Amino acid sequence: MDKLSRTDLYSLEKYSELRDQFRSKVMEHKRNRRLPLGTNATLYFEDRLTIQYQVQEMLRIERIFEAAGIEEELDAYNPLIPDGSNWKATFMVEFPDETERRQMLKHLLGIEDSVWIQVDDLPKIHAIADEDLDRSDDEKTSAVHFMRFEFNEQQKQALKDGARLAAGIDHKNCTVEIRPVAENIRRSLLKDLD
Protein backbone atom coordinates (compact mmCIF):
# COMPACT_ATOMS: atom_id res chain seq x y z
CA MET A 1 0.00 0.00 0.00
CA ASP A 2 1.41 3.38 -0.96
CA LYS A 3 2.34 5.77 1.80
CA LEU A 4 0.68 9.17 1.95
CA SER A 5 2.34 12.29 0.61
CA ARG A 6 1.36 15.95 0.87
CA THR A 7 -0.30 15.77 -2.57
CA ASP A 8 -2.75 13.14 -1.21
CA LEU A 9 -4.06 15.51 1.45
CA TYR A 10 -6.72 18.18 1.31
CA SER A 11 -5.82 21.75 2.22
CA LEU A 12 -7.33 22.93 5.50
CA GLU A 13 -9.89 24.97 3.58
CA LYS A 14 -10.87 22.11 1.26
CA TYR A 15 -11.00 19.63 4.15
CA SER A 16 -13.33 21.98 6.02
CA GLU A 17 -15.72 21.82 3.06
CA LEU A 18 -15.49 18.04 2.63
CA ARG A 19 -15.05 16.96 6.24
CA ASP A 20 -18.58 15.65 6.94
CA GLN A 21 -18.73 13.70 3.70
CA PHE A 22 -15.18 12.34 4.11
CA ARG A 23 -15.81 11.41 7.74
CA SER A 24 -18.96 9.46 6.78
CA LYS A 25 -16.99 7.54 4.16
CA VAL A 26 -14.23 6.70 6.66
CA MET A 27 -16.65 5.65 9.43
CA GLU A 28 -18.41 3.28 7.02
CA HIS A 29 -15.02 1.87 5.97
CA LYS A 30 -13.93 1.42 9.60
CA ARG A 31 -16.98 -0.74 10.40
CA ASN A 32 -15.30 -3.54 8.46
CA ARG A 33 -11.95 -3.00 10.17
CA ARG A 34 -12.95 -3.15 13.85
CA LEU A 35 -12.47 -6.49 15.61
CA PRO A 36 -13.65 -6.74 19.23
CA LEU A 37 -11.63 -9.24 21.26
CA GLY A 38 -14.02 -9.92 24.09
CA THR A 39 -15.80 -7.09 25.85
CA ASN A 40 -12.85 -4.89 26.81
CA ALA A 41 -10.29 -5.09 23.99
CA THR A 42 -10.51 -4.15 20.33
CA LEU A 43 -8.25 -4.22 17.28
CA TYR A 44 -8.76 -1.28 14.92
CA PHE A 45 -7.01 -2.20 11.68
CA GLU A 46 -5.40 0.72 9.91
CA ASP A 47 -4.95 1.33 6.19
CA ARG A 48 -4.27 4.24 3.88
CA LEU A 49 -7.79 5.69 4.23
CA THR A 50 -7.94 5.46 8.04
CA ILE A 51 -4.50 7.05 8.31
CA GLN A 52 -5.39 9.81 5.86
CA TYR A 53 -8.35 10.61 8.10
CA GLN A 54 -6.10 10.69 11.19
CA VAL A 55 -3.63 12.99 9.47
CA GLN A 56 -6.37 15.31 8.12
CA GLU A 57 -7.88 15.54 11.60
CA MET A 58 -4.51 16.31 13.22
CA LEU A 59 -3.77 19.00 10.65
CA ARG A 60 -7.21 20.49 11.25
CA ILE A 61 -7.02 20.39 15.06
CA GLU A 62 -3.46 21.75 15.19
CA ARG A 63 -4.08 24.17 12.29
CA ILE A 64 -0.98 22.90 10.51
CA PHE A 65 -0.61 24.21 6.97
CA GLU A 66 3.14 24.65 6.50
CA ALA A 67 5.05 22.00 4.54
CA ALA A 68 7.42 21.07 7.39
CA GLY A 69 4.57 20.52 9.84
CA ILE A 70 2.62 18.42 7.35
CA GLU A 71 5.71 16.29 6.66
CA GLU A 72 6.13 15.72 10.42
CA GLU A 73 2.58 14.37 10.65
CA LEU A 74 3.12 12.16 7.61
CA ASP A 75 6.36 10.82 9.11
CA ALA A 76 4.51 9.99 12.33
CA TYR A 77 1.49 8.28 10.72
CA ASN A 78 2.80 6.66 7.52
CA PRO A 79 4.41 3.75 9.43
CA LEU A 80 0.87 2.67 10.41
CA ILE A 81 -0.05 1.90 6.77
CA PRO A 82 0.34 -1.81 5.86
CA ASP A 83 2.95 -2.60 3.23
CA GLY A 84 1.49 -5.71 1.57
CA SER A 85 2.98 -8.33 3.89
CA ASN A 86 1.33 -7.27 7.12
CA TRP A 87 -1.67 -5.86 8.90
CA LYS A 88 -1.28 -2.91 11.22
CA ALA A 89 -3.67 -2.17 14.03
CA THR A 90 -4.34 0.02 17.00
CA PHE A 91 -5.13 -2.22 19.98
CA MET A 92 -7.21 -0.67 22.72
CA VAL A 93 -7.97 -1.96 26.20
CA GLU A 94 -11.31 -0.33 26.97
CA PHE A 95 -12.83 0.00 30.44
CA PRO A 96 -15.20 2.98 30.75
CA ASP A 97 -14.68 3.37 34.51
CA GLU A 98 -11.33 5.05 35.19
CA THR A 99 -10.71 3.27 38.49
CA GLU A 100 -11.43 -0.14 36.97
CA ARG A 101 -9.27 0.71 33.94
CA ARG A 102 -6.27 1.60 36.13
CA GLN A 103 -6.65 -1.63 38.08
CA MET A 104 -7.09 -3.78 34.96
CA LEU A 105 -4.07 -2.24 33.19
CA LYS A 106 -1.97 -3.54 36.09
CA HIS A 107 -3.68 -6.93 35.87
CA LEU A 108 -3.13 -7.11 32.09
CA LEU A 109 0.58 -6.24 32.04
CA GLY A 110 2.07 -7.74 28.86
CA ILE A 111 -1.25 -8.22 27.07
CA GLU A 112 0.17 -6.53 23.96
CA ASP A 113 2.48 -9.52 23.47
CA SER A 114 -0.41 -11.98 23.75
CA VAL A 115 -2.56 -10.85 20.82
CA TRP A 116 -2.62 -13.17 17.81
CA ILE A 117 -4.09 -13.83 14.36
CA GLN A 118 -4.38 -17.30 12.80
CA VAL A 119 -5.01 -18.38 9.22
CA ASP A 120 -6.83 -21.76 9.26
CA ASP A 121 -4.68 -24.13 11.30
CA LEU A 122 -1.36 -22.58 10.28
CA PRO A 123 0.84 -21.26 13.13
CA LYS A 124 -0.47 -18.25 15.02
CA ILE A 125 0.92 -14.84 14.09
CA HIS A 126 1.65 -12.95 17.29
CA ALA A 127 1.56 -9.19 17.23
CA ILE A 128 4.76 -7.21 17.11
CA ALA A 129 3.77 -4.43 19.48
CA ASP A 130 4.93 -0.87 20.04
CA GLU A 131 7.91 -0.78 17.69
CA ASP A 132 8.17 2.98 18.05
CA LEU A 133 8.36 3.07 21.87
CA ASP A 134 7.46 1.05 24.95
CA ARG A 135 3.99 1.73 26.23
CA SER A 136 4.24 -0.45 29.32
CA ASP A 137 6.38 -0.31 32.42
CA ASP A 138 7.04 -2.79 35.24
CA GLU A 139 3.67 -2.09 36.85
CA LYS A 140 1.09 -1.62 34.11
CA THR A 141 0.38 -1.75 30.43
CA SER A 142 -0.99 1.09 28.34
CA ALA A 143 -4.60 1.26 27.18
CA VAL A 144 -3.37 1.82 23.59
CA HIS A 145 -0.80 -0.19 21.63
CA PHE A 146 0.26 -0.16 17.97
CA MET A 147 0.66 -3.59 16.42
CA ARG A 148 1.94 -5.26 13.30
CA PHE A 149 1.00 -8.79 12.19
CA GLU A 150 3.55 -10.09 9.67
CA PHE A 151 2.43 -12.78 7.20
CA ASN A 152 4.53 -15.28 5.27
CA GLU A 153 3.67 -16.23 1.69
CA GLN A 154 1.82 -19.42 2.71
CA GLN A 155 -0.44 -17.51 5.10
CA LYS A 156 -1.10 -14.77 2.54
CA GLN A 157 -1.96 -17.28 -0.19
CA ALA A 158 -4.21 -19.28 2.12
CA LEU A 159 -6.17 -16.12 2.97
CA LYS A 160 -6.45 -15.21 -0.71
CA ASP A 161 -7.72 -18.74 -1.38
CA GLY A 162 -10.51 -18.28 1.17
CA ALA A 163 -8.99 -19.66 4.38
CA ARG A 164 -10.75 -18.84 7.60
CA LEU A 165 -9.31 -16.30 9.95
CA ALA A 166 -9.21 -16.44 13.74
CA ALA A 167 -7.95 -13.96 16.32
CA GLY A 168 -7.50 -13.83 20.04
CA ILE A 169 -5.57 -13.10 23.19
CA ASP A 170 -3.54 -15.66 25.18
CA HIS A 171 -2.81 -13.77 28.40
CA LYS A 172 -2.85 -15.40 31.85
CA ASN A 173 -5.58 -12.96 32.94
CA CYS A 174 -7.42 -12.64 29.63
CA THR A 175 -8.09 -15.41 27.15
CA VAL A 176 -10.20 -14.68 24.09
CA GLU A 177 -10.69 -16.60 20.86
CA ILE A 178 -12.72 -15.36 17.89
CA ARG A 179 -13.17 -18.24 15.45
CA PRO A 180 -13.91 -17.41 12.72
CA VAL A 181 -13.47 -13.68 12.30
CA ALA A 182 -16.51 -12.22 10.50
CA GLU A 183 -16.28 -12.46 6.72
CA ASN A 184 -16.74 -8.71 6.13
CA ILE A 185 -13.66 -8.03 8.28
CA ARG A 186 -11.64 -10.81 6.62
CA ARG A 187 -12.46 -9.46 3.15
CA SER A 188 -11.55 -5.89 4.13
CA LEU A 189 -8.22 -6.94 5.65
CA LEU A 190 -7.38 -9.14 2.67
CA LYS A 191 -6.96 -5.98 0.57
CA ASP A 192 -4.04 -4.96 2.82
CA LEU A 193 -2.02 -7.94 1.55
CA ASP A 194 -1.92 -6.76 -2.08
Q: Are residues 57 and 145 in the same domain?
A: no
Answer yes or no: are the C-beta atoms of 168 and 178 closer than 8 Å.
yes
Nearest 5 degrees, angle CA 192-CA 44-CA 64? 90
Q: Are residues 100 and 184 in the same domain?
A: yes
- Identify the three-state secondary structure at position 144: strand
Predicted pLDDT of residue 21: 98
pLDDT band (50, 70, 90) for residue 135:
confident
Q: What is the pLDDT of residues 39-84, one digit of tens each?
A: 999 999 999 999 999 999 999 999 999 999 999 999 999 999 999 9
Higher-pLDDT residue of 80, 131: 80
pLDDT band (50, 70, 90) for residue 131:
confident
Q: Are residues 63 and 129 in the same domain?
A: no
What is the total count of domains within the chain? 2
Q: Are residues 27 and 116 in the same domain?
A: no
CA-to-CA separations, 27 to 23, 32, 50, 116, in angstroms, rounded: 6, 9, 9, 25
What residue numbers bound the domain in which 75 lies?
1-31+48-81
Q: Are residues 94 and 74 in the same domain?
A: no
C-alpha dihedral sign at 106, 109, 114, 115 = positive
Q: Are residues 93 and 188 in the same domain?
A: yes
Backbone angles phi, psi at 27, to 5 degrees: -65, -40
